[in-house]
């Protein structure tokens, strides 16, 4: 039985790899692609920060061509796979090392432990929270304006780009769910906290719109109650229902926000990627509640222990460490975000339709 499972997994992985290969031939589907978010999308922005939230050491990157780069997984993350699906010949570089004309194709601003709130993740050290990422984007816009001749040309260029934002996990994992460090859970009910997060998030997204973004995919939060770190904290092998309930409050309000943004900005296109739903049926992955790598028991607790050999069958694990998905999970999730498998995967459209729609959403 184990042998058959390996064969099925191998066939599935080969099929997905071939599917990606055919999509990277020819010109990219969009001229540029910008990424905002946290460690699920970070590809090196935290490497030189004074923070414990880093992944530029082995065994992170064990399956990535360049080894450890700052990606919080064994190989490629969602931002990488989406670059492949869009047809880019290379992955979008981190803001920390982007310069020259490569800015025209996009920048990755994501930062491990970053949140919507400025204080989320602060106990781990420095991080580039969403407000700082947007300020970095303004620097990029200025540089693009220099390359193209003026700000108007820069904004017109940005109108054609895809923007993805995946943030909010640390506002729970490294804030609301840590009452011994952060006061938020003492000040807000779960519903009040979700409302406060969405209110702040909405302001940031309006800034992104004002800076030229017109095609924006917002990634909702996955089932944080099911990550190994949360289950271990509650001493259970089952998903923590109260945590998932809180996450769903945030996701529901984010989905509603997408509707409001599309109504208020008819010349823009926003969509919601339902990572909660997608992560609940992840496909060929079979080990759901244990990390692939040996994790640290002291801060940064739950990240991979440096230099330790991870599990061999990484293709059957959902989590690489106590927080972050494996490459195969990232691949499958990106497939669903780009080309929805179920109607519940996205609202109102998947990324494939988002980038191909020229005006308002089709009814």
DSSP string covering 297-357, please?
SSSSTTSBPTT----S-GGGEEESSSS-B-HHHHHHHHHHHHS-SSGGGEES--HHHHHH-
Q: Region 162-179: what's the mean pLDDT?
A: 98
pLDDT at 363 over 60: no
Residue 216 main-chain phi, psi, to 5 deg: -130, 125
Has residue 2 been placed in a domain?
Answer: no
Has residue 22 been placed in a domain?
Answer: no
Owning domain of residue 140: 28-282+326-356
Task: Report pLDDT for 219.
Answer: 98
Has residue 48 been placed in a domain?
Answer: yes
Domain CATH for 213:
3.40.50
pTM: 0.92
pLDDT tens-place string over residues 70-118 = 999 999 999 999 999 999 999 999 999 998 999 999 999 999 999 999 9
Q: Region 189-196: what's the mean pLDDT?
A: 98
Largest CA distance in the chain: 63
Q: How far apart are CA 195 and CA 104, in angstroms?
A: 35
Has residue 6 been placed in a domain?
Answer: no
Q: Which of 323, 344, 320 is nearest to 331 (CA)?
A: 320
Structure confidence at residue 285 as a pLDDT band (50, 70, 90): confident
Has residue 19 been placed in a domain?
Answer: no
Q: Which of 265, 213, 1, 245 is nearest to 106 (CA)?
A: 213
Has residue 20 been placed in a domain?
Answer: no
Q: How far apart are CA 169 and CA 358, in angstroms?
A: 32
pLDDT at 318 over 50: yes
Task: Report pLDDT for 281.
Answer: 67
Using alpha carbons, list the distances in angstroms from residue 264 to 107, 146, 350: 27, 31, 20
Q: Region 118-146: what's the mean pLDDT?
A: 98
Q: Region 326-341: what's the mean pLDDT?
A: 96
pLDDT tens-place string over residues 201-233 = 999 999 999 999 999 999 999 999 999 999 999
Q: How far apart are CA 60 and CA 73, in angstroms?
A: 6
Task: Report pLDDT for 25.
Answer: 60
Domain count of the fold of the chain: 1
pLDDT at 51 over 70: yes
Has residue 226 been placed in a domain?
Answer: yes
Active site residues per annotation: 39, 321, 324
Has residue 87 been placed in a domain?
Answer: yes
Q: Checking DSSP bridges between strand 215-219 and strand 269-273, what pairing results, if any?
A: parallel
């Amino acid at each position: 039985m184990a042998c058959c499972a390996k064969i099925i997994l191998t066939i599935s992985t080969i099929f997905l790899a071939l599917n990606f290969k055919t999509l990277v031939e020819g010109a990219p589907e969009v001229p540029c692609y910008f990424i905002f978010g946290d460690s699920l999308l970070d590809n090196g922005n935290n490497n030189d920060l004074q923070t414990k939230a880093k992944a530029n050491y082995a065994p992170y990157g064990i399956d990535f061509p360049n080894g450890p780069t700052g990606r919080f997984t064994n190989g490629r993350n969602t931002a990488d796979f989406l670059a492949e699906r869009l047809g880019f010949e290379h992955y979008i570089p981190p803001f920390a090392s982007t310069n020259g004309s490569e800015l025209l194709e996009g920048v990755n601003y994501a930062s491990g432990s970053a949140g919507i709130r400025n204080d989320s993740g602060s106990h781990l050290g420095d991080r580039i929270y969403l407000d700082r990422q947007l300020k970095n984007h303004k620097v990029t816009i200025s540089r693009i304006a220099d390359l193209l001749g003026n700000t108007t040309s820069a904004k017109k260029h940005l109108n054609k780009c895809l923007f993805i934002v995946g943030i909010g996990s640390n506002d729970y994992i490294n804030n609301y769910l840590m009452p011994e460090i952060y006061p938020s859970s003492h000040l807000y009910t779960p519903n009040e906290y979700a409302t406060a997060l969405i209110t702040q998030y909405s302001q940031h997204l309006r800034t992104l719109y004002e800076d030229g973004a017109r095609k924006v995919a917002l990634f909702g939060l996955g089932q944080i109650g099911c990550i190994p770190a949360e289950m271990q904290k509650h001493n259970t092998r089952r998903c923590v229902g109260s945590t998932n309930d809180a996450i769903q409050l945030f996701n529901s309000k984010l989905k509603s926000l997408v509707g409001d943004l599309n109504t208020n900005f008819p010349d823009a296109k926003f969509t919601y990627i339902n990572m909660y739903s997608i992560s609940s049926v992840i496909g060929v992955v079979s080990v759901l509640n244990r990390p692939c790598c040996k994790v640290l028991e002291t801060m940064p607790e739950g990240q991979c222990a440096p230099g330790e050999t991870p599990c061999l069958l990484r293709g059957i694990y959902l989590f690489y460490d106590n927080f972050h998905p494996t490459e195969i999970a990232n691949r499958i999730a990106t497939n669903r975000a780009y080309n929805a498998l179920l109607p519940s995967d996205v609202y109102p459209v998947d990324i494939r339709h988002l980038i191909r729609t020229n005006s308002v959403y089709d009814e």
